[in-house]
Amino acid sequence: MFSSISKLPPQEAEQQIQRETVKVIDVRSREEVRQGKIPQAVNIPLDELAERMEELDTSEQYVMVCRSGNRSAKAAKHLQKNGYDVKNMTGGMMKWQGDIEA
């Protein structure tokens, strides 16, 4: 039995990213990411997550990000079931107020 996914508001996510207490995984498509992403984010599209999970470290804490928060919630659930410490950023990039890089 797994607990529900922890949610992290964008402002709190930004603070944790700046303090480097979390790593950001952006599960949007490469095309979406080209339009701008959180500077520290690593892009692992949702449809590649299962194959690329081993790139992630179970001792790290991750924040999952997508456009609105739905795909990242699915990704967070999948990772949590596999032993990862994850949170879902609520509202996704639509609510992100921090820096964005192309």
Point out the residues that are catalytic.
66
- The CA–CA distances, whole Å, from 16 to 19, 27, 35, 73 equal 5, 19, 23, 18
- The CA–CA distances, whole Å, from 67 to 2, 26, 27, 72 equal 25, 9, 9, 8
